Chain A
Amino acid sequence: MAEADMVLNNAGKAGTTREQDLIARVQRGQNELFYELVQPYERRVYAAALAILRNETDAEDVVQEAMLKAFANIRQFRAEAKFSTWLIQITVNEALMRRRRERTVVMEGIDDRRDEETDYTPREFADWREIPSESLERKEVRQRLAEALATLDRKYREVFVLRDMEQLNIQETAEALGISVASVKTRLLRARLMLRDLLAGGWEQGWFSRLPFEKGNKPW
């Protein structure tokens, strides 16, 4: 195993051990440690709620409710499950319930379903190369990515966020949304290809590569 991988693995194990220790202590009644336990995942659960509700205020409210629910049920959490997945599933449930309650669901038409059944054909074939992660330091890039995601249909956005942003696996995504594994795979494919097409223009215009320290703009 490469040295870097070993270091990462050891760090991961240390984090997991710390998390298990925190879970056990909260389960024994040290309630004040609960925020410390969920804090590493607060952004992820927020993203999940926002993907479903598309409203920042509602998403924040749902996150708070979901975390309170998790707190109330922490004694039922079993070590064999992944804590982050458990939190995200509670949040998704809460968000779906909120959406049902507020009846904001736009009924999907027959065309939508047919749309899902047919293959998606990529439209942009510009020559891509790896976009450096550093480009995400720029607010403009993050904003463009967020805007592209927001243009996706709800069903594609939800699957994409849970799988590619929340890192749930295909099965967990299907369970969280109450849809089949096959639907998750189809929607994920379309979401990824649509986003790729939407972002292709950005690549051609160069806004992925304009780093703050590119030539002529060095901070030193």
Chain B
Amino acid sequence: MVNREAVNCELVWHEISNYLEGDVDAALRVAMDEHFRTCQRCASVLEGTRNVVRLYGDERMIEVPAGFSRRLEKRLAHSARVSSRPWPTWSTWLVPVAAMALIAGGVRLANSRTFQPALKSEHAQTGHDIPPDMLVVVSAGANLFHAPGCGVIHNKDKERTLTAKEAMREGYVPCLRCLRKYLDTAAVGHPAALGSEASVEGDADDDLRGGTR
């Protein structure tokens, strides 16, 4: 309980803001009310502080720079437009998704072995690590591509020079003789493979025979 006599001016000034906030207990409020009735100075402080709170709390006290509202509205409108671009419907989704699927499928097909042209010989080996830009020689009617100068080139009068990559794209396979290092030598060296070596040659049997003649 607050002693009314104990409420002096210093205590009133200390509590005057809380008093205006309604943040003092009932006993202190009663004691302060009594003090304001008898103390002219504290009544003046109370009225003045009340005026300050009321005047500054008025909306008219807040002034914004000229054009402030318009600039804010413009900026928000721009942001709203960017964010408001309608969510794609299923049909608008469909086009990019289909395009991406086609591209992905195309890439996969391009990398797929099934896309490679059928080899001219079913027993042939496609070889490995063949430099794609290496110049090789093929001849019409044959199945192999050769290093230039290979001794088993068939139909030399119909030979043409191209890159290994181009030759492989056309279905030619490396010559067992001159491009052996690019072939699976274990398989080539195996007796069964040797059998297939002859078969691989197909028309190259003649080449080989010709080469050994």
Residues of chain A having any CB pair with chain B under 8 Å: 29, 31-32, 34-35, 38-39, 42-44, 46-47, 56, 60, 63-64, 67-68, 71, 119-122, 124-131, 133, 135-137, 142, 145-146, 149, 160, 164-165, 167, 170, 185, 188-189, 192-193, 195-196, 199-200, 203
Contact = CB atoms under 8 A, between A and B. Distances in A.
B95 interface: no
A137 B60 CA distance: 8
Contacts of A34: 76, 80
A164 B204 CA distance: 101
CB-CB nearest 8 A-B residue pairs:
A31-B80, A189-B17, A128-B47, A196-B48, A128-B48, A43-B62, A47-B62, A136-B60
Contacts of B63: 43, 142, 146
Contacts of B83: 31, 71
B17 A149 contact: no
Contact of B56 (A35, A67, A164, A189): A164
19 contacts: A31-B80, A32-B80, A38-B76, A39-B69, A42-B64, A67-B72, A119-B14, A122-B13, A125-B45, A127-B44, A136-B60, A145-B55, A145-B56, A145-B61, A164-B57, A170-B21, A188-B17, A196-B51, A199-B52
A42 B72 contact: yes
Contact of A146 (B50, B61, B72): B61
Interface in B68-115: 68-69, 71-73, 75-77, 79-81, 83-84
A188 B41 CA distance: 20
Nearest to B82: A31
Interface string B9-44: 010011011101101000000000000000011001
Given A35-B77, A56-B65, A130-B47, A164 B72 contact: no
A34 B47 CA distance: 41
B53 interface: yes
A55 B159 CA distance: 85
Contacts of B62: 43-44, 46-47, 165
Main secondary structure of the interface of B (DSSP, over half): helix
Contact of A64 (B14, B23, B53, B75): B75
A188 B17 CA distance: 7
Interface residues of B, number: 45
A117 to B, nearest CB: 12
B58 interface: yes
A78 B92 CA distance: 33
B54 interface: yes
A69 to B, nearest CB: 11
A184 to B, nearest CB: 10
A133 B58 contact: yes
Contacts of A142: 60-61, 63
B57 A165 contact: yes
Nearest to A32: B80
A192 B18 CA distance: 11
Contacts of B69: 39, 42
Given A124-B48, A185-B18, 16 more contacts: A42-B72, A46-B68, A47-B61, A60-B64, A60-B68, A128-B44, A142-B63, A146-B63, A164-B56, A164-B57, A165-B62, A185-B23, A192-B53, A193-B45, A195-B52, A196-B52
A32 B55 contact: no
A43 B55 CA distance: 16
B185 interface: no
A32 B84 CA distance: 8
A176 to B, nearest CB: 17
Contacts of A137: 60
